[in-house]
Copies of this chain bind each other. A is one copy, B any other.
Amino acid sequence: MSAANYELTAEVLTEAIPFMRRFAGKVVVVKYGGNALAGTEGEEEEALRSFAEDVVLMRSVGMLPVVVHGGGPQIGELMQRLGMTPRFVDGLRVTDAETLEVVRMVLVGKVNREVVGAINRHGPLAVGLSGEDAGFITAEARDEALGFVGDVVGVDPTIVRRLLSEGLVPVIATIGADVAGQAYNINADTVAGAIAAALWAQKLVLLTDVSGVRRDRDDPGSVASELSVAEIDELIADGTISEGMIPKVEACAHAVRAGVSSAHILDGRVAHALLVELFTEEGLGTMVVDR
């Protein structure tokens, strides 16, 4: 080993271990998917492979990772193949019974399976779960006009805690059910935030396709390394944060307000971003804290 490498190695190790110690036995909810998976099929596979490796390494040092995933692009693809036309009300997609069935088949029967499979290539660790299992996520209709688009009403984390205590990695598809057993499709960022809150997680990490939250919409160099929930409210109010970033920052704000120590928005396309975020002082992307 070269002297330079020796020194760097010793440095990384002495810096990383205290983080490992601090996070051992702590729950970290990681939302993976959607745009983090954007790219060619080969890039997607490589991203999923690197992500699965990071999850397994987190588990190795005693952390308790919980994976939440969406699957927008894959849903659109199957609908197209089935000749279904998306309907919109005031710009929002309507989820009728037939659409819901497609959403559920894709999320639970396809994307969830792929994430479970990628992790289980390293050992029998991952177990797929949907919010319908064992009364995990209770949902209700957001707006009748939108059909089976749901809001989270309650999270009973018992089944997740059980799997965690068995050393397993829950991989969660974001379908919920109401008391009558009716299923709903729920935004994956929102679910990730609600689960992090219900589990009193140490961290919530949203892996996406941008390097963080910008303080100036048009300046890629303006990514904030840290934001308070108050700043988030302001940045939404003045329009700096908009569209798809809104549910992300709101999920972060919800989680940290509920006691999660910090929430992070990272670029999931960078290999091992999760690991470097967790185990270095410097970190990556934008961190949201409750100040």
The interface of chain A, by Cβ under 8 A from chain B, is 1, 5-6, 8-10, 12-14, 16-18, 20-21, 24, 53, 57, 60-62, 78, 81-82, 101, 104-110, 112-113, 116-118, 120-121, 123-130, 132-136, 156, 158-159, 162, 166, 168, 175, 177, 180-181, 183, 271-272, 275-276, 279-280, 282, 284
Contacts and interface: CB of A to CB of B under 8 A. Distances in A.
Main secondary structure of the interface of A (DSSP, over half): helix
Nearest to A121: B181
Given A108-B108, A113-B132, 12 more contacts: A1-B282, A9-B276, A12-B13, A14-B272, A17-B61, A20-B60, A61-B61, A113-B175, A116-B132, A120-B177, A124-B156, A125-B134
Contacts of A279: 13
Copies in the complex: 6
A16 B8 CA distance: 13
Nearest to A4: B8
A60 B127 contact: no
A109 B104 contact: yes
Contacts of A106: 105, 109
Please indicate which of the listed interface residues A18, A105, A126 has the most CB atoms of chain B within 10 Å of its own CB. Answer: A105
A177 to B, nearest CB: 7
Contact of A276 (B6, B130, B280): B6
Contacts of A117: 132, 177, 181, 183
B132 A129 contact: no
A17 B60 contact: yes
A57 B106 CA distance: 32
A127 B159 contact: yes
